[in-house]
Structure 1
């Protein structure tokens, strides 16, 4: 098991779960947690994590909730996604920030500062979660420089904690 530091894990109150579920459902246009799910929140070194039935399926980064890669695989949202070409995949899965020229598509709802998920062009598989440094038009413009700051990726400590 990976060495992710989890502390202060506690069961969430029903009204907090309801608010979190509504935020995620509205943001991603999907249904997430069920009423029967056991949901805990804990602190980690970079952000708060949300356990759903003992699996980390969501995170809260700078006060904004979003799904982890495992959550993305389970719930399969389409919104707030950014598609990268296959040449960028090896860098993104090693934790690199996403550069503008590697982006081939982006959801039109994305604004600068939004949490987004990165998927590959060929398989539409989630690769990472990050913070958009540009709006949707800027992401699609394929301009040089960093476009998305990566906060969670396949193969990091958070990903390995679910293995």
Structure 2
């Protein structure tokens, strides 16, 4: 596995990308010790915090479980096992959508009981469009418990 330590400039660029995509300023301190593994995984304290998929920077589920800064799509408890195994979310399983969700937004898929993130997805429609729909695929599941990002570990 190839790992490189990110420079202060790299961290500044990463912060700019996070601000542009997620609206979060100065996510990382310029003195944070970050690594990039396999040109894909941004590592902090031995854990994946962000990763690239098809040139898009995505937060890891482990990060979102600690600090959910994403808009949410809420699913009923019947959809939870499917989301947790990587299934895309269909309209019948969705019980709520945060205000401001737009087409192609990266969202946290959360369960209705605990509002706990169970997956990271990409909304295929805006909240307004979703509310008018009765069927169909609504959210692409991009990252879930047990996938390669969740299981990625940095050898010491």
Q: Which range, TM-score by smaller chain?
A: 0.7 to 0.9
Paired position in structure 2 for 1:35:
30
Are 2:41 and 2:48, in contact at CA under 8 Å, matched by a contact in 1?
Answer: yes
For residues 10-21 of structure 1, the aligned pairs below 5 Å read 10-21=4-15
Q: Distance in 2 between matches of 1:109 and 1:154?
A: 26
What do you get for the CA RMSD once the two structures are aligned? 2.3
Shift of 1:94: 1.1
Q: What TM-score do you get using the length of structure 1 for normalisation? A: 0.79
Task: Look at both structures and tell me which one has the larger radius of gyration over its CA atoms.
Answer: 2
- Structure 2 portions without partners, runs of 5+: none
- Structure 1 portions without partners, runs of 5+: 1-6
For residues 10-159 of structure 1, the aligned pairs below 5 Å read 10-25=4-19, 27=22, 29=24, 32-43=27-38, 48-77=40-69, 79-159=70-150
* Cα 1:130–1:141 shift into 2, 3 Å: same
Q: Deviations over 1:11-57 (max 9, x none)?
A: 2232221232244356154763333321112337xxx2211122101
Q: What TM-score do you get using the length of structure 2 for normalisation? A: 0.82
Q: Deviations over 1:46-105 (max 9, x none)?
A: xx221112210112233332311101022232x422111111101101111111111122
Shift of 1:138: 2.4
Shifted more, 114-123 versus 22-31: the winner is 22-31
Out of 3, 6, 17, which is 1:9 matched to? Answer: 3
Q: Deviations over 1:126-158 (max 9, x none)?
A: 111122111222233453111111111012232
